[in-house]
Amino acid sequence: MQDELSGLTTIFTEFYYWVTVFLMFFIHIGFATYEVAVARRKNLQHTLMKNILLIPLVTITFFFFGWWIYFALPNGPGITGGLGAGHEEFFAWSETMGPHMQDRINGVFWAAFLLFSWTAASIVSGAVMERIRVAAFLIIAVLIGSVTWVIDAAWGWKPDGWMVQLMGYHDAYASGVIHAIAGGTALAVIMVLGPRIGKFGPNGVIRAIRPHNVWMACLGLFLIYTGFWGFYVACNIPIIDVDPGNGTFFSATNIYLMPTTLSGITLNFLMSLSGGLLAGYLISKRDPFWTFSGGLAGIIAASAGNDLYHPIQAMLIGGVGAALAYKLHNFVERRWRIDDAVGAVAVHGYAGFFGVVIAGFLLWGYPAAAPVEGTTAWFTTPEGWPAINPIGNFIGAVIMFGVLGFLPAFVVAKVLDRFGLLRVPRAVELAGLDTHDYGDSYPYFEASEPGGDFETVERQLVLTMTDARLTRLDGDEPPGSRAREDREAAT
Amino acid sequence: MTGLDSFTDPGGIGALYPFQGLEVVFAIVGVVLWLAWHVAQTRGENREYEEALTRYRDAGMPQMADLGRDPGATTEQARGRESMTGSPEATAPPDQEPRTQSIKDETSPGNG
């Protein structure tokens, strides 16, 4: 760095992203806390271990190839060109992938993206809890954390990504590129995995499997809100000249290098959180878990356009997003008998999908990014820049949730299921995932009385077991995936 | 020497880490270890469930389910091992009967 201004700008930017990484750790403290709290007492340590292990595996794979994908694939699969210019600098063996005197940004920018990767994988972790094998989950975590979400970021979360340049796709704080894809992935996996034993009874009965600690689940969600501050500011470029052709005008920008302000996104973050909390409280009839989840759904629903919305627009979108998430979660559970243990598909997937779609309408005509030579967008501004529009954002939401979220995860889950490596044996699930190995997580606490009818149902199922094998399911329960050990016992 | 021996010209320095030029080797080692970790973890988890099912068949599933819910069960009992202090009974307070027996002490032939 040759002068004080460039030195200060560079080192400020380096420090800025470093702070976002630290703040985003709270998202993962929150995920671990609320996942463990939602689990039943017999599954706590297994749940915690499953969640923590995604962190090192997604980290090293994001180093090996995830970061390279972001720079290599903005042009899409043969749609507008080949590999991205300069992608060689992001190979795992590039010099700038380590301490380097001439580069102070790559490492912290990598880390900020990595924390998004952890988030995408953690979202899936909650939905599949209490019955998935750790090995299967970790493969799926690497799939979404270091491959599929990075492809969607290269396509739709980069100024020269083909979805941005061609379709005018706009998703400033990742309603689609993180949340919808994670929701789609989670839905695919739980469809193949099947529900937890006893979740669905005869004659359409849906049994509530209560968290072992409701307030801790809510506190976990509160920690996720805290970490979201880091998530939001990490989606911005902190300081850049946004008017280089006509003089100098320094501003923060969104990920597409279009101007916004830190002050503005602060307003919108808080208003969308509030809209979600207020709606979640009313729609769930004062349920604590869904009130807190409503706050999260509110932020996620408004995130696609929170760089530009008015705060009251953000509040209203947040409220609608929370209500949609709650209603759709219950509808899907009832209609298709799908067991999403924490409502992750709804809070992240449906609210994220809705957020991308609504941004296409409300921001219709805004510039999506500066144009790249050789690409003509479907809709353009009067100056010829790609324009945000409802069609581009709707198709974008489908790509995020369905094409890159649901499909690859469904295929991988099916392959794992084919080898009996997706789900734990039914006897292990009934006894508890901690029981045969870790033991009780609260050895000095008295056991609470069995709550409701759920433990009774489990007890009855245990008594029907032959040779540690479950011979019948309860009522209308979808069969779901079968462990290799259960198959061997059956033959 | 493994890398640098002077910081007198920072503008002319690039990479700071030792053994520069071996980055491809580092990457290959990292990827191999990553894949090996998945294989080891998967094998270990499969073995874990096979052992658990064998223990459940021997002990009887209802007893094992009780152990999973019983606050008096120690980790050693759950693993089917002796506690660090000897027999499972040794872990119970002196004025209290032990709540559970070690799976190894169970006489039930199981459900099957």
Cβ of residue A63 closer than 8 Å to a chain B Cβ: yes
Residues in chain B within 8 Å Cβ distance of A42:
68-69
Residue B18, pLDDT above cutoff 70: yes
Which tens digits make up the pLDDT trace of A193-228? 999 998 998 888 898 898 999 999 999 999 999 999
Which tens digits make up the pLDDT trace of A126-151? 999 999 999 999 999 999 999 999 99
Residues in chain A within 8 Å Cβ distance of B42:
135, 421
A439–B74 C-beta distance less than 8 A: yes
Q: CA A113, A149, A175: angle at the middle one, nearest 5? A: 85
The pLDDT confidence band at residue A163, using thresholds 50, 70 and 90, is very high
Q: Under 8 Å CB-to-CB from A109, ≥6 apart: which residues?
A: A17
Cβ of residue A98 closer than 8 Å to a chain B Cβ: yes
Q: How far is A198 from chain B (nearest CA, A)?
A: 15
Cβ of residue B30 closer than 8 Å to a chain A Cβ: yes
The whole-number pLDDT of residue B67 equals 56
The pLDDT confidence band at residue A461, using thresholds 50, 70 and 90, is confident
Q: What percent of chain A has pLDDT over 70?
A: 95
Cβ of residue B62 closer than 8 Å to a chain A Cβ: yes
Q: Report the complex ipTM.
A: 0.91
Which tens digits make up the pLDDT trace of B21-45? 999 999 999 999 999 999 999 999 9
A100–B15 C-beta distance less than 8 A: yes
Residue B112, pLDDT above cutoff 80: no
The pLDDT confidence band at residue A478, using thresholds 50, 70 and 90, is confident
The pLDDT confidence band at residue B3, using thresholds 50, 70 and 90, is confident
B70 or A410, higher pLDDT: A410
Residues in chain A within 8 Å Cβ distance of B19:
none
How large is the average pLDDT for residues A304-318? 98
Residues in chain B within 8 Å Cβ distance of A63:
30
- Closest partner CB to A64 (pick from B34, B72, B80): B34
B111–A436 C-beta distance less than 8 A: no
Asked if residue A34 lies in contact with residue A216, where contact means CB atoms within 8 angstroms, the answer is yes
B46–A42 C-beta distance less than 8 A: no
Cβ of residue A42 closer than 8 Å to a chain B Cβ: yes
Give the whole-angstrom CA distance, residue A394 versus residue A356: 7
Instruction: Sort strands A237-241 and A250-253 into parallel, antiparallel or unpaired.
Output: antiparallel
> Of chain A residues 116-135, which have a CB less than 8 A from chain B?
133-135
Cα Rg of chain A, angstroms: 23
Residues in chain A within 8 Å Cβ distance of B45:
133-135
Assign B80 to helix, strand or coil.
coil
Which tens digits make up the pLDDT trace of A398-455? 999 999 999 999 999 999 999 999 999 999 999 999 988 888 888 888 765 555 566 7
> Of chain A residues 262-291, which have a CB less than 8 A from chain B?
none
Give the whole-angstrom CA distance, residue A96 versus residue A308: 34
How large is the average pLDDT for residues B80-97? 39
Which tens digits make up the pLDDT trace of A62-74? 999 999 999 998 8
The whole-number pLDDT of residue A318 equals 98
> Of chain A residues 435-454, which have a CB less than 8 A from chain B?
435-440, 442-447
A446–B78 C-beta distance less than 8 A: no
- Specify the amino acid at residue A356: V
The whole-number pLDDT of residue A486 equals 85
Residue B80, pLDDT above cutoff 60: no
Residues in chain A within 8 Å Cβ distance of B71:
440, 442-447
Q: Is A154 exposed, middle or buried (0-12, 13-18, 19+ CB in 10 A)?
A: buried
- Closest partner CB to A102 (pick from B14, B46, B48): B14
How large is the average pLDDT for residues A166-185? 97
Cβ of residue B94 closer than 8 Å to a chain A Cβ: no
Poorest-confidence range of A7-11, A62-66, A310-314? A7-11
A83 or A262, higher pLDDT: A262
A478 or B106, higher pLDDT: A478
Cβ of residue B81 closer than 8 Å to a chain A Cβ: no
| Helices vs strands, H then E, count in chain B | 3, 0
Q: What percent of chain A has pLDDT over 90?
A: 77
Name the residue in chain A with its Cα closest to that of B37: A57
Q: Under 8 Å CB-to-CB from A358, ≥6 apart: which residues?
A: A301, A304, A305, A317, A320
Average pLDDT, rounded, for chain A: 92
Q: What is the pTM of this model?
A: 0.89
Assign B20 to helix, strand or coil.
coil
Q: Of A134, A434, A132, nearest to B68 (Cα)?
A: A434
- Closest partner CB to A445 (pick from B26, B71, B80): B71
The whole-number pLDDT of residue B108 equals 32
The whole-number pLDDT of residue A43 equals 95
Average pLDDT, rounded, for chain B: 70
Q: How far is A94 from chain B (nearest CA, A)?
A: 7
